[in-house]
Structure 1
Amino acid sequence: MNAVAGRQDTVLVAHPSAELYGSDRVLLESVRGLQEGGARVVVTVPAEGPLISELLECGAEVVLCRTVVLRKALLSPRSLPMLLPTSVAATWRMLLLLRRLKPQSVYVSTLTLPLWSVLPRLLGLRVVAHVHEGEESARPFIKRALAAPLLFASRILVNSRFSEAVLHAAQPRLRRRTTVVDNAVPGPPTPLALRREVHGDARITYVGRLAHRKGVDVAVEAFAELTASGSAARLDIVGAVYAGNEGYEEQLRQTIRDLGLQDRVHLHGFQPDVWPYLAEADIVLVPSRADEPFGNTAVEAILAGRPAVVSDTSGLREAAGNYSSVRLVPPSDPGAIAEAVEKMLAQWSWYCDLAAADAVTAAGRHSPELYRSRIAAHLLPSRGSYVKGKA
């Protein structure tokens, strides 16, 4: 409660999608934290999706409000004629929503919603932006353009030290307003027992979006190397493409056919509950090609007590590199992935023990309860605030 006004604070939460991938699941924990802090939480998303039912179930209000979701493809001179009228129309819709809700604070989830970082601040509202992106390899102009709206934010939260470094390189003036808050990653509802014996029938699993940058095809090629010796291993792929990228899934299926793996590789599509699939897994692959700001899927594998083979890059290294049951491999290297899996299987009993210990460590490091309290402290004045660098 707002002790001064004697009424409940309203926090408007702006999120760029209604899916249920990494940043979407972290958003759910942010909403729960604000509710536990006594706030009325209203979430605005630009389109329908499975996230909405999850938000409603945890007690948040949801409002559809189409706005500009800034993708790199829009940051070009050719896109400006389309972007400007879209921004004008979106600004009007946002103004109407802000006038109706009269929020005390606005929480902007990800840096792809530039208008939500700017407009409420111009109206005198407190704006806290939460950055889940970090692409060090992007062109300097794009990185500066994506980060520029954050110059209006009152406070900026980032999900990793890697993301923080990328952000500050793009906009050094943001340093004094930035705090790292480790992602909340809820573990499985009950412990998932790991098979203590694997006899040539290893069950390998990938969980995440189907995209070239995620390296799903690299995982398939690595699996082909593993099965070349005649083992009875299988690969389960859990996830789907984003709208407009359907061609990647078609290409992935063609690769599976070309390698003769139709009976060994199973595509399960998007699944809102990944734990049953991780329960069936022996080893999890996180084969991203490109920079990742963090590594929620890697942490989920560790929380499930599964050894993981993870690309040695960016935020993935930060998220998973300090765990003994994780092997880091060069990105885009199927041979390295296959070799890492074979070494794990050769020392399987040892890796089972390492994975069990790592699951306990990860559960404390990514505690949803701790994360929720930190989010509430940053958004709700009555809860106080954390000192920079201590959150």
Structure 2
Amino acid sequence: MTGSSSRTILVAHPGAEMFGSDRMLLESVIGFVESGARVVVALPGRGMLDVELRRAGAEVVIIPMLVLRKVLLTPRGLPTLFRDMFRGLGASWRLISEVRPDIVYVSTIIIPQWPVIARLRRCHAVSHIHEAEASGNRLVNALLYLPHLVSNRTLINSRFSLETLRHSIPPLADRVEVVYNGVASPPDPSPPRSRLGGTLRVLYVGRLSPRKGPDVAIRAAGELARAGQRATVTLLGAVFPGYEWFEEELRALAEELAVDVAFAGFHPDIWPFLDQADVLVVPSRVDEPFGNTAVEGVLALRPVVVSNSSGLREAANGYDTALLIAPDSPEALAQALADIVARWPEVVAATPRSRVDAQERHAPELYRRRIAQALGLATGPLTTG
């Protein structure tokens, strides 16, 4: 192989939605395509990501694969786990024979068979780790990371994720490269309101999951109301299948606290919602590997309030318009929102500078170049090692 245009990259990814790791997968693929490589993406099903990948110039194939979910790690889920494991093994083996890739790029740690199969087929394997939960069980973390020891190269999305990995499997952490996420920006975001008026418009973007804390946002709005500051909350996101009960709990909580909550569902284009918001909140209860959503808020010229933990701290740190608060504390979130209201002219004046800083750190074009270089697409031939 003498140039990237002669290379074929087989990409494996565990879903076809358009959440954080899905968006990063799309950016990675765009970088590979721009380098001149042929890119084939294996997904377990159709979805919005599938459409965007084909629009970007990739080929997409749908095959069975083992995608580790918590439900599979229960006695009831074990039959499905073993079924998916054997079906995924055969499907990935055949696909590598058909595609004959030079590089197999494995996105996330929840498709554990792919690095192993790639190396068994003598392909150059690259793992890209997007997950990190320092508070999780160390043994479970180690088991999830373990298959990626066989990869020729491993990429990770934050220093926090790297330290979590180091705590679990030090030998793997010693050869990991940090590549910060690229985050898209609206070309011309609308400025914040010059005056708030009587109601603060709060936006939450992400999965409707207990881990992500949308209920914290609702409770914080209730706290504000008791202090005399009216606030509305828009929840932009949806539940995982099987978690419909949590959305019902959120609706009941909003009714109980008399908080005006809009359940907007999932939308791939978040910018119109940010245009209509005053503040973006990221109230996660648990560790996050990185905080794309927080950066998106800064890029949209909106102040953000973020849980002071994990990769969220790393993503939001250094911006004048980002406030860090204690996780799982409606009171802390309410106080931060009240502080923003009290300092609104000052906050508004600081948003353009924060946006420029975020663009310089997380421009998608920069990410695409870095990810292509990490795969050796601009630096000469690769070896299988």
Out of 91, 111, 114, the position equivalent to 2:112 is 114
| Residue type at the aligned position of 1:119 | I
* Equivalence for 1:301: 297
Provide the aligned C-alpha RMSD in A: 1.7
Correspondence for 1:310: 306
**Distance in 2 between residues matched to 1:34 and 1:243, nearest whole Å:** 32
What is the CA deviation profile of residues 69-115 of structure 1, one whole-angstrom value per residue up to 9, with x for unaligned ones? 11344446775554334312211111111111101101111011111
Contact 1:19-1:51 at 8 Å conserved across structures? yes
The letter for the 2-side match of 1:297 is: T
Counterpart residue identity of residue 191, structure 1: P
C-alpha contact (below 8 Å) 1:37/1:380 kept by paired residues? no
1:3 corresponding residue in structure 2: 2
Q: Does 1:53 align with 2:51?
A: yes
Query: What's the counterpart of residue 277 of structure 1?
Result: 273
Instruction: Give the corresponding residue for 1:389.
Output: none
Residue 188 of structure 1 and its aligned partner are, at CA, apart by 1.0
- Cα distance in 2 for partners of 1:40, 1:111 equals 24
CA distance in 2, matches of 1:112, 1:74: 12
Does the 8 Å CA contact 1:154/1:177 hold for their aligned counterparts?
no
Q: Does residue 328 of structure 2 align to residue 332 of structure 1?
A: yes
Superposition TM-score, scaled by structure 2 size: 0.95
Alignment-mate amino acid for residue 116 of structure 1: W
Distance in 2, matches of 1:88 and 1:333, equals 44
CA distances 1:329-377 after superposition (whole Å, capped 9, x unpaired)? 1011101111111111111111112222111100110011111011111
Specify the alignment match of 1:29 in structure 2.
27
Amino acid at match of 1:169: H
Query: Is the contact made by 1:157 and 1:180 (CA closer than 8 Å) also made in structure 2?
Result: yes
Aligned to 1:260: 258
Q: Using the alignment, how far apart are the partners of 2:249 and 2:149 within structure 1?
A: 41
* C-alpha separation in 2, matches of 1:116 and 1:313: 31
User: After the TM superposition, which parts of structure 1 deviate over 2 Å for at least 4 consecutive aligned residues?
Assistant: 71-86, 228-233, 380-385
What is the aligned length? 381
* 1:141-193 deviations in Å (ceiling 9; x for gaps): 10111001011111000000010111121111113320000000011132321
Q: Runs of 5+ in structure 2 lacking a partner?
A: none
Deviation at 1:8, TM superposition (A): 2.4
Find the aligned partners of 1:30 and 1:169 in 2 and give their Cα distance. Answer: 27
Please give the alpha-carbon distance, in whole angstroms, between the structure 2 residues aligned to 1:345 and 1:382. 48
Secondary structure at the counterpart of residue 318 of structure 2: coil
Provide closer, same or farther for how the CA distance between residues 198 and 381 of structure 1 changes in structure 2, counting only shifts above 3 A.
closer
The whole-number CA distance in structure 2 between the counterparts of 1:257 and 1:285 is 20
Q: 2:234 aligns with which of 229, 236, 242?
A: 236
Residue in 2 aligned with 1:344?
340
Out of 125, 135, 138, the position equivalent to 2:136 is 138
SS at match of 2:273: helix
Q: Distance in 2 between matches of 1:280 and 1:313?
A: 27
Show structure 1 runs of 5+ residues with no match.
386-391
- Counterpart CA distance in 2 for 1:244 and 1:126 is 37
1:1-391 equivalences in 2 (<5 Å): 2-3=1-2, 8-75=6-73, 80=78, 82-261=80-259, 264-384=260-380
Percent of aligned pairs with the same amino acid: 46
CA distance in 1, matches of 2:364, 2:197: 37
Mapped to 2, the partners of 1:102 and 1:128 lie a distance apart of 16
**Any idea what the Cα deviations from partners look like across 1:120-158, whole Å, max 9, x if unmatched?**
111110011100000011111101110010111110000
Could you say what secondary structure the match of 1:243 adopts? Answer: coil
SS at match of 2:128: strand
Taking structure 1 as the reference length, what is the TM-score of the superposition?
0.94
Give the drift of 1:200: 2.1
Per the alignment, residue 388 of structure 1 pairs with none
